[in-house]
Homo-oligomer: A and B are copies of this chain.
Amino acid sequence: MTEQKRKRVVILGGGFGGVYTALYLEKLLRKHDDFEILLINKENYFVFQPMLAEVVSGSVGILDTVSPIRRMLPRTDLHVREVESIDIKNSTITTTPGFRPHSHVIHYDHLVLALGNVTDFRGLRGLPEHAIPFKNLGDALYLRNHLIHVLEEAAVEQDSPELRRQLLTFVVAGGGFSGVEVVAELNDFVRGVIKNYPQLDPTDVRVVLLHAQARILPELDEKLALYAQKILARRGVEIRLNTKLAAATGDEAILADGTRISTKSLISTVASSPNPLIDALDLPKERGRLKADSSLLVMGTDNVWALGDCALVPMTDGGICPPTAQFAIRQASTAAHNIVSTFRGGERKSFQFKELGKLAVLGHRSAVAQVFGVNVSGFLAWFLWRTIYLMKLPGWGRRLKVAASWTFDLFLPAELVQLKLGDSMGVSHEHFEPGQEVFHQGDLGDRIYIIARGQAEVARQESGREIVLAKLGAGEYFGEMALLNQTTRNATVRCVEALDLLSIHKREFSVLAANLPSMRDSFEQVMKQRRIATASVLAEAAH
């Protein structure tokens, strides 16, 4: 059995760290295969992260920023699966089942952990329910569609100028690289396409960037950051420095100083956490990142390697590698070399690399950059950015397509197609702050709500006075009248103590109620009791 003699390197994660490790390993792989490479990633593509923000404005095509991993890595086995658990003691990985309902358990000789980190809004009031993350391709597509969706809605809402202004307000939290690039592309896009909406007034558009520190882009020189601020401000972005986002609801962004910005579009690029898989490992960590030595081996192990954003890798100058693509790629080269040295008995290398530069693009034809210590800004930096990234894109096909997209973008108007991504979930979580209305008497009702936490009051407007009908707490529900077709709300429900709600669309609710007799029965019972209770409160109030 030659199969068993071959060593297996398993790589977890298909970002820069994981994919480039496989790429370098493939280069070192000999004809007679002394080892095999298996990469596990939940998507079948690699995302060229630095260009993700351009998907928002449509200046590159939807698929231009991603490459199929199979094409990049012809000699690597790819499993498009979620990793369920990592067992360091037994050197195995378990992945989720696919069509066949059995787990896959995969043995490794060497394990490369390149799982990056994940968006994590937990603990931030209302953000898990209402903030839009910006990390992967799915997020970028979602945001792009959301922007078109609010524009379309604003165009229809002729009756309510407040709603129209709310729909045309966009808030981005976080003034690092990612936040700045998103706000720049978003701003360009919205201000560009609004001319296709003759019903809308371009001066109603408001784009706000929130940043907790005294200047944006802390990664760059102050001069460049100030230049970036000037450019963004000139293009209409309102920058709020020393300002933190405190909470969010479905209707507003709430700042730490209590200011409320009415918006349906809050994007946060701030919150990220270690991948839960890394979290679950019993290996030495610091601030959630795996402690690796300069050879990229995780401390205390002899076959587990870590790199990229999930690893803490020392630099030769005593510092720690920043979590950027440039570093991940160079770390991948070192890790691949060292893994092969372990097989073949060669010397291990220590990771060392001096950063070449940093770039942030500020939307159409402007950028800021620091290259070999020199500051560059404006059109030159933008041109540099495009050239460098184009050359770094994997594969000539991709480069050609991106070059074509960029060329078209110079003279064709921005893409305006709202690509609806699947059905919107019928069950969702919502957060409300005290004083806010969940719904108003007279509104159309199509969802029922279950209180997970907090308190609400139910009030009815009756011959000019408001009568509080009930207070509701955790485990109770409201809005059940929506189950009857085409009715308007017969009362207003208002948040008293911060509310976390589970809301279910009547479509899904009726499927559940039809199939779960116990659920239907208990709802019918409570509805009956309520009708009686309401009648008695109103009768009393009438006296």
| B-side contacts of A197, CB under 8 Å | 70
Are the C-beta atoms of A408 and B417 separated by less than 8 Å? no
Is A415 among interface residues, defined by CB-CB distance under 8 A? yes
Q: Which of A149-157, A201-209, A223-231 contacts B (4 or more CB under 8 A)?
A: A149-157
Which of B101, B152, B445, B521 is the one whose CB lies under 8 Å from A445?
Answer: B101
Q: Per-residue CB proximity of A96-122 to B under 8 Å, as 1/0? A: 011111111000000000000000000
Are the C-beta atoms of A155 and B63 separated by less than 8 Å? no
In the complex with contacts A71-B196, A502-B515, A512-B512, A101-B416 CB distance below 8 A = no
| B-side contacts of A90, CB under 8 Å | none
Which of B148, B397, B423 is the one whose CB lies under 8 Å from A413?
Answer: B397
| B-side contacts of A404, CB under 8 Å | 404, 408
Are the C-beta atoms of A100 and B44 separated by less than 8 Å? no
Are the C-beta atoms of A71 and B397 separated by less than 8 Å? no
Are the C-beta atoms of A80 and B443 separated by less than 8 Å? no
Are the C-beta atoms of A101 and B439 separated by less than 8 Å? yes
A178: shortest Cβ distance to chain B, in Å?
21
In the complex with contacts A44-B152, A156-B81, A415-B63, A515-B99 CB distance below 8 A = no
| B-side contacts of A159, CB under 8 Å | 100
Are the C-beta atoms of A100 and B155 separated by less than 8 Å? no
Q: Per-residue CB proximity of A459-474 to B under 8 Å, as 1/0? A: 0000000000000000
Are the C-beta atoms of B425 and A412 separated by less than 8 Å? no
Q: Per-residue CB proximity of A51-62 to B under 8 Å, as 1/0? A: 000000000011
Are the C-beta atoms of B98 and A43 separated by less than 8 Å? no
| B-side contacts of A68, CB under 8 Å | 196, 415-417
Are the C-beta atoms of A400 and B418 separated by less than 8 Å? no
CA distance A199 to B77 in the complex (A): 8
Is A2 among interface residues, defined by CB-CB distance under 8 A? no
In the complex with contacts A77-B199, A80-B156, A101-B445, A44-B397 CB distance below 8 A = no
Are the C-beta atoms of A444 and B138 separated by less than 8 Å? no
Q: Which residue of B lies closest to A525 (CB)?
A: B518
- What is the total number of residues of chain A having a CB less than 8 Å from a CB of chain B? 86
Are the C-beta atoms of B400 and A408 separated by less than 8 Å? yes
In the complex with contacts A101-B444, A156-B98, A421-B422 CB distance below 8 A = yes
In the complex with contacts A66-B417, A416-B70, A516-B515 CB distance below 8 A = no
CA distance A521 to B516 in the complex (A): 12
CA distance A278 to B78 in the complex (A): 49
Is A319 among interface residues, defined by CB-CB distance under 8 A? no
In the complex with contacts A98-B153, A444-B103, A63-B417 CB distance below 8 A = yes
CA distance A156 to B148 in the complex (A): 38
Which of B412, B418, B419 is the one whose CB lies under 8 Å from A397?
Answer: B412
Is A167 among interface residues, defined by CB-CB distance under 8 A? yes
Is A522 among interface residues, defined by CB-CB distance under 8 A? yes
Are the C-beta atoms of A44 and B512 separated by less than 8 Å? no
| B-side contacts of A160, CB under 8 Å | 100
| B-side contacts of A163, CB under 8 Å | 99-100
| B-side contacts of A415, CB under 8 Å | 63, 68
Is A420 among interface residues, defined by CB-CB distance under 8 A? yes
Is A261 among interface residues, defined by CB-CB distance under 8 A? no
| B-side contacts of A443, CB under 8 Å | 101-102
| B-side contacts of A67, CB under 8 Å | 417
Q: Which residue of B lies closest to A163 (CB)?
A: B100
Are the C-beta atoms of A515 and B475 separated by less than 8 Å? yes
| B-side contacts of A517, CB under 8 Å | 475
Is A233 among interface residues, defined by CB-CB distance under 8 A? no
Are the C-beta atoms of B156 and A417 separated by less than 8 Å? no
| B-side contacts of A155, CB under 8 Å | 78-80
Are the C-beta atoms of A420 and B62 separated by less than 8 Å? no
| B-side contacts of A426, CB under 8 Å | 427
Which of B44, B199, B521 is the one whose CB lies under 8 Å from A418?
Answer: B44
Are the C-beta atoms of A422 and B419 separated by less than 8 Å? no
Is A264 among interface residues, defined by CB-CB distance under 8 A? yes
Q: Which residue of B lies closest to A417 (CB)?
A: B45
CA distance A100 to B157 in the complex (A): 8
CA distance A80 to B420 in the complex (A): 12
* A–B complex contacts, Cβ < 8 Å, 30 sampled: A44-B418, A45-B416, A61-B61, A62-B62, A66-B417, A68-B415, A70-B197, A77-B199, A78-B152, A80-B153, A97-B444, A99-B157, A99-B167, A99-B264, A100-B157, A101-B444, A137-B419, A397-B408, A401-B412, A404-B404, A421-B422, A422-B425, A426-B427, A450-B516, A502-B511, A502-B515, A516-B519, A516-B522, A518-B522, A519-B519
5 other A-B residue contacts (CB within 8 Å) besides A44-B148, A452-B515? A44-B416, A44-B417, A68-B415, A98-B156, A401-B412
